[in-house]
Amino acid sequence: MKFPRRTFLQLAVGAAALPAVPRLARAQAYPSRPVRIVVGFAAGGATDIQARLMGQWLSDRLGQQFIIENRAGASGNIGTEAVAKAPADGYTLLQIVTPHAINAALYSNLSFDFIRDIAPVICSARLAYVVVVHPSVPATTIPEFIAYARANPGKVNYGSAGPGTPQNIACELFKMMAGVNLVHVPYRGGAPATTDLVGGQIQVIFAPVSESIQYIKAGNLRALAVTTAKRLDVLPDVPTVADFVPGFEASGFAGIGAPRDAPADIIDMLNKELNAGLADSKVKARIVELGGTVLGGSPAEFRTIISEATEKWAKVIKFAGIKAE
């Protein structure tokens, strides 16, 4: 049976469009029930706050609850494993942060491969750390602190939330590039480390802005520099470490991911909605308050950020001989 040319072309075009119909219908129906955003860290911290900010935006936009589920432990690995093994249907997401890139080099016996098993959705923000010292430290600038550390090798203690955490890795990079000898004092979390810094038991921390800014403003801690390439809006008078140690950069990141086989159309929808959220003035203001710089962009761009961070921190971990607890 022969068809007129016009009829044939119409049938061909219709047939080509058929595979897109189920994808379109699925995206339009999503989400039809609550969605979990797994956070591999305790409630109340910067990672948790970031996740709740994005989750609330998605709940308001998409008409279903995006529920934050805290699965703390093993530097975020417990939560990551739960997402990696979850059904790839878009109903389980992961709050991705800097430790995920660090863990890829720090742990060799994980049951998952983060870069392979987690699909990036969006990088919502770059996150800064700030070099804070106890007021008793005789330094008001990074050059003065470097001079003080060199004059007291092995006598200046720095705190962190534990081995392999961003505070630990950032300070080890600083030690490498500035040529100073600082002694690591690990804690079980950033809060107790900051408490001891305020009390004078340790001298310095490369602290998340969200954990230290109240102490900086109150005069309990002195901010010497931020670790990002540019100054922060929330601390405009504080210079960058790179102003004095050329090439230094130790920013973190926060974003959303999904199991690796999550439908591409759902990832695209989430990316679009989250980019819209990052353009909202209230959301942007909250991220800035947390010491972040709004990013956004495509899943591919986030994958590049993760890959570059993984490679960078692997070199620091190897050089410093850092071992997981």
- Residue 313, classed as helix, strand or coil, is helix
Buried b (16+ CB within 10 A) or exposed e, 158-189: bbbbbbbbbbbbbbbbbbeebebebebbbbeb
Give the other-Cβ count within 10 Å of 272's Cβ: 12
Residues facing 223 on adjacent strands = 132
Do the beta carbons of residue 38 and residue 95 sit within 8 Å?
Answer: yes
**pLDDT-based confidence at residue 27 (cuts at 50, 70, 90):** low
Mean pLDDT of the chain: 92
Do the beta carbons of residue 103 and residue 81 sit within 8 Å?
Answer: no
The pLDDT value recorded for residue 290 is 85
235-288 pLDDT, tens per residue?
Answer: 999 999 999 999 999 999 999 999 999 999 999 999 999 999 999 999 999 999
Closest CA to 145 of 200, 230, 204: 204
Closest CA to 39 of 31, 30, 48, 28: 48
The pLDDT value recorded for residue 6 is 52
Q: Specify the amino acid at residue 277.
A: G
The pLDDT value recorded for residue 19 is 56
pTM of the model: 0.87
For residue 8, pLDDT beyond 50: no
Higher pLDDT, 98 or 108: 98
**pLDDT-based confidence at residue 171 (cuts at 50, 70, 90):** very high
The position carrying tokens 């004092």 is: 185
